[in-house]
Structure 1
Amino acid sequence: MDLEKDFEKEAPLEQQHPSYKLIPKFFNPSQQSGDQIQQIETQGIELQAKVKELLDVEELEELWETLEWHVTEITQNDKMLIDFENYLEMISVMDAKFREFINVQLFFDLMNESEFEERLEIVSIYNHTIRAIRLARARICLCYYDQLGMGYLSETDLESFIVDMKTLWSQPPLEKFYVCTVVKMVFFFLDSLHTGRVRISDIESSGMISEIMEEKHSFSKAAILEVYEKFLELDKDHNGRLSKMEMCVYGSGLLTTLFLDRVFEVCHTFNGEIDYKTFLELFLALEYRQTAAGLRYIFHILDVNQQGYITSETLRLYFYTKTHNGYQAEYTFKDLNNKIFDMVQPMDPSKITLRDLINCREGKAAVSLIIEFQKFVANKDTESAVYIKYPNSNEQPQRRDTPAVTTLSQI
């Protein structure tokens, strides 16, 4: 019996059972071979060597002493300054390890921000060096979280990196949403095809790693907390998810009904409601609709028939769907359709593809005109009257005081 079992394990699948000739076997992820494990271990040793090349605490103390030794002037406010001549002298006596971070170009770069003429505060040099070391260490440590040694990071890998490298909030709920938001932002821009992984080289070249480590721009705690607060404001029933009704007032409050319907059709929902992660992707797409990632996300929603392009018939659905405010303005669809096609200038004059939107200069304006028509054409600075037609009504158009509407030539 044991020999028969061994034969079944070693024999080709076709010999084990005839059905294997017709039915393909399931995909089984390849296990790490001995060579791959050895490669990962070798990579770990190389990364440790790179970390040792960075300045440690004792060497940073030595750097500060060297800076103090070459001070040119001390101001009345006890600010220690160094001029270019003393700076060059300081570099000449430094070891090569220090010169990796302090060079001639650095002096001129920091001079752009200096409040003193032809002099730098030595503390600015010291702080710049610390930031450079932190950034270099972070780039090296990114590779530690590449569990397969393939040069990619999954969302879980990146979450672990951020938690380990960053000083986060003391409140666990805020820390959770901070990490979630940062990871989603990175993957939104670098993994727009939703492969579930991003290349480490892409993270480094994008400049995001420095913004994450230094909490700059969109990666600052204040900016991320602002996004989270927007979500909480919309969540009227406080169940941690957003319904379509709650999303109606998002942003301008003038997103077309069809666009919102498509959001809830295309995006992942829980009992017809979207969670924070899905909201965050939509938020990023609308806030950064001028980027390729934002346009790709919005185009996927606009493409009602999932055919890879938008035609005049697609646009007609959006322009003749009433807004959730219950009315639509009288306008000529032909003019709007022509305006959008003139903005995009597609390769095929009968349809607009994602590539057309990305390559043209008016991609942001074109999608804004489709998904937020009322906001896009309304001029809030002046008031005038425009005819409003209520859907499903036999009444004649009535005059209603609304913000002035710009002409299509002004769009």
Structure 2
Amino acid sequence: MELLREKFGDAPVPSSAAIDHETFNRLIQTNSSSAPGSSQRTGIPKFFTNRRTTSHLQQLLQREAYDAFSDQQADNVLSGDELDMLWDALIFDATDEEIAQEDRRITYTDYCNIKFRLPAKFHQYFLPSTFLRLLKEGQNTISICQYFNYLMRKVSLFQGRLDLGAYDADCDGYLTEDDLQMYIEDLIPQMNLDDLNEHLHKFYVCTAVRKFSFFLDPMRIGKISITSILLSPILTELFELRDRDLNADAVKTNWFSAYSSLRVYGQYLNLDMDHNGMLSRRELAKYSSGTFTELFTDRVFQEYQTYGGEMDYKAFLDFVLAMENIQTPEAITYCFRLLDINSCGYLDDFVLGYFFKGVCAKMVAFGHETPPVDDVINEIIDMANPKTYRQIRCQGKSKPKLHWVFATGSPSRTVALWFRLIGERHGLMMVAVAGYERDPCNRYQQI
């Protein structure tokens, strides 16, 4: 107060609200005067600026510079003959010649001798950090087989990065859906897709790209990091089809095979009863022998993008990927969004009971007895073991536990199999939202 009296003298001291208002106005004026290129700037500052547009000539220059850099890096990739040369050098310097080649080892001195005996192109693969990374505690040698496998993996990733980078139109390290489609189209002649009709290549490319988008672009930003693609097992699954001698069982389980693509596309055509190229709620409800509840089907159309209230092929692919890979975090997130009817981030007793009542209606329709709803809800919460009391969340460390809530059986079954374990405890054959179920005596066939 003494300071205020010294400033204002005998004049009345302004109220705290007036002082706050004056302080706010001064801060606004200071912010406006300090803003570059603006003398009167008010309001909330921008937190996002659209990417600067470039002319066609600038884009060509950027592309040429990127291609030149890629060509320079491609010269450092070891060819097949060079890898054979490296393996022969490892064998020559390895100790214990009497043992099998894959069991031989080299010391750091041998490691350095091999490096200086090979051309300069090989030197980047003989760093001291590489030797230390493969060196086990208490030993002074590394396995030549382990080192060579590491080198093969590194060369493979390096080559894959260059191949994918050729389709990076913006040169920003990300691939859009269109970029991935061009990559898959160029890859088709190299893969074991002889059973796929050329007229179906468009749908095959869409099916293949959708798996990358579903698992590697969870935020749906429209592009995927090239690094994520390289480190993902999805790319390995795609490259498996380069093997012409791949056995039939592996082909059937591979999402990118012609068999799998025709199976999914055939499901879509069979569900499309009015042949308009889209799926309505009634048509999707027939998926998996029509064992989905109406509540679940309605939630699919409420939460995910539709066109005029109908689902297109891309949305159907997301749905199938979630149902067939229900144990994965991405599928759990997809299904959790459907079950979270209040958009509050957790499932409580009301939500679990709400959906289970729909399952009970299906059970009654198929002529089966239903267990008490409260017992089922309690056992589901016990299996999930949530950190917050009776609130099952889909985040952090609780996500793996949700596997038991969403799918306690085969991954090919769907969301309502979170009730399967409960049915086994009650000695009943539980009719889930979708899929096959049998009792322990194997008396029940496909529903």
TM-score normalised by structure 1 residue count: 0.65
Displacement of 1:305: 1.5
Gaps of 5+ in 1: 1-10, 68-82, 112-127, 389-401, 407-411
Is the 8 Å Cα contact of residues 152 and 197 (structure 1) preserved in structure 2? yes
Aligned amino acid, residue 363 of structure 1: L
The residue matched to 1:49 in structure 2 has which SS? helix
Partner of 1:3: none
Partner of 2:278: 241
Displacement of 1:241: 2.2
Displacement of 1:195: 1.5
Task: Name whichever structure is richer in strand by fraction.
Answer: 1
Q: Structure 1 residues 325 and 229 mapped into 2: Cα distance closer, same or farther (>3 Å)?
A: farther
91, 98, 101: which one pairs with 1:84?
Answer: 101
Is the 8 Å Cα contact of residues 346 and 392 (structure 2) preserved in structure 1? yes
Displacement of 1:137: 3.2
**Distance across 1 between alignment mates of 2:120 and 2:232:** 28
Aligned amino acid, residue 270 of structure 1: Y
Q: What is the RMSD of the two structures over their aligned residues, measured on CA atoms?
A: 4.9
Q: For residues 37-67 of structure 1, what are the alpha-carbon distances to aligned partners after superposition, in whole Å with 9 as ceiling and x for unaligned?
A: 87665443221122233466xx75x989999
1:260 aligned onto 2:297: yes
The correspondence of residues 23-102 of structure 1 with structure 2, limited to 5 A, is 28-32=50-54, 41-54=64-77, 84=101
1:281 aligned onto 2:318: yes
Q: For residues 213-234 of structure 1, what are the alpha-carbon distances to aligned partners after superposition, in whole Å with 9 as ceiling and x for unaligned?
A: 3327333333333322332333
Partner of 1:335: 375
282, 286, 296: which one pairs with 2:333?
Answer: 296
**Distance across 1 between alignment mates of 2:47 and 2:313:** 38
Q: State, as a whole percentage, how many aligned pairs show the same letter.
A: 30
**Distance across 2 between alignment mates of 1:305 and 1:384:** 31
The residue matched to 2:395 in structure 1 has which SS? helix
Aligned amino acid, residue 144 of structure 1: A
Is the 8 Å Cα contact of residues 327 and 407 (structure 2) preserved in structure 1? no
Structure number with larger C-alpha Rg: 2
147, 156, 174: which one pairs with 1:152?
Answer: 174
Q: Structure 1 residues 210 and 404 mapped into 2: Cα distance closer, same or farther (>3 Å)?
A: closer
Q: Structure 1 residues 372 and 236 mapped into 2: Cα distance closer, same or farther (>3 Å)?
A: farther
Aligned amino acid, residue 371 of structure 1: A
1:164 aligned onto 2:148: no
Q: For residues 74-126 of structure 1, what are the alpha-carbon distances to aligned partners after superposition, in whole Å with 9 as ceiling and x for unaligned?
A: xxxxxxxxx739x99xxx8986768999xx96868999xxxxxxxxxxxxxxx
**Distance across 2 between alignment mates of 1:277 and 1:24:** 34
378, 385, 388: which one pairs with 1:348?
Answer: 388
Aligned residues: 342
Partner of 2:398: 359
Q: Structure 1 residues 337 and 374 mapped into 2: Cα distance closer, same or farther (>3 Å)?
A: closer
The residue matched to 1:251 in structure 2 has which SS? helix
Aligned amino acid, residue 395 of structure 2: R
**Distance across 1 between alignment mates of 2:230 and 2:398:** 25
Is the 8 Å Cα contact of residues 380 and 418 (structure 2) preserved in structure 1? no
Displacement of 1:312: 0.9
Aligned amino acid, residue 380 of structure 2: I
Q: Which deviates more, 193-202 or 291-300? A: 193-202
**Distance across 2 between alignment mates of 1:385 and 1:148:** 54
The correspondence of residues 154-193 of structure 1 with structure 2, limited to 5 A, is 154-167=176-189, 171-193=197-219
Aligned amino acid, residue 317 of structure 1: Y
Q: Structure 1 residues 21 and 84 mapped into 2: Cα distance closer, same or farther (>3 Å)?
A: closer
**Distance across 2 between alignment mates of 1:385 and 1:296:** 27
Partner of 2:235: 209
Q: For residues 180-214 of structure 1, what are the alpha-carbon distances to aligned partners after superposition, in whole Å with 9 as ceiling and x for unaligned?
A: 12211111111111111111111111233333233
Aligned amino acid, residue 294 of structure 1: A
Is the 8 Å Cα contact of residues 347 and 391 (structure 2) preserved in structure 1? yes
Partner of 1:272: 309
Displacement of 1:292: 0.9
Q: Structure 1 residues 189 and 24 mapped into 2: Cα distance closer, same or farther (>3 Å)?
A: closer
**Distance across 1 between alignment mates of 2:290 and 2:121:** 56
Q: For residues 308-342 of structure 1, what are the alpha-carbon distances to aligned partners after superposition, in whole Å with 9 as ceiling and x for unaligned?
A: 11111111110122339846743222211111111
The residue matched to 1:320 in structure 2 has which SS? helix
Q: Structure 1 residues 209 and 384 mapped into 2: Cα distance closer, same or farther (>3 Å)?
A: closer
371, 374, 379: which one pairs with 2:416?
Answer: 371
Q: Which deviates more, 24-33 or 152-161? A: 24-33
Displacement of 1:133: 7.1
Is the 8 Å Cα contact of residues 340 and 347 (structure 2) preserved in structure 1? yes
**Distance across 2 between alignment mates of 1:305 and 1:276:** 28
The correspondence of residues 215-230 of structure 1 with structure 2, limited to 5 A, is 215=241, 217-230=254-267
Q: For residues 357-397 of structure 1, what are the alpha-carbon distances to aligned partners after superposition, in whole Å with 9 as ceiling and x for unaligned?
A: x6354422312476246766667xxx9899x9xxxxxxxxx
**Distance across 1 between alignment mates of 2:257 and 2:63:** 33
Q: Structure 1 residues 46 and 301 mapped into 2: Cα distance closer, same or farther (>3 Å)?
A: same
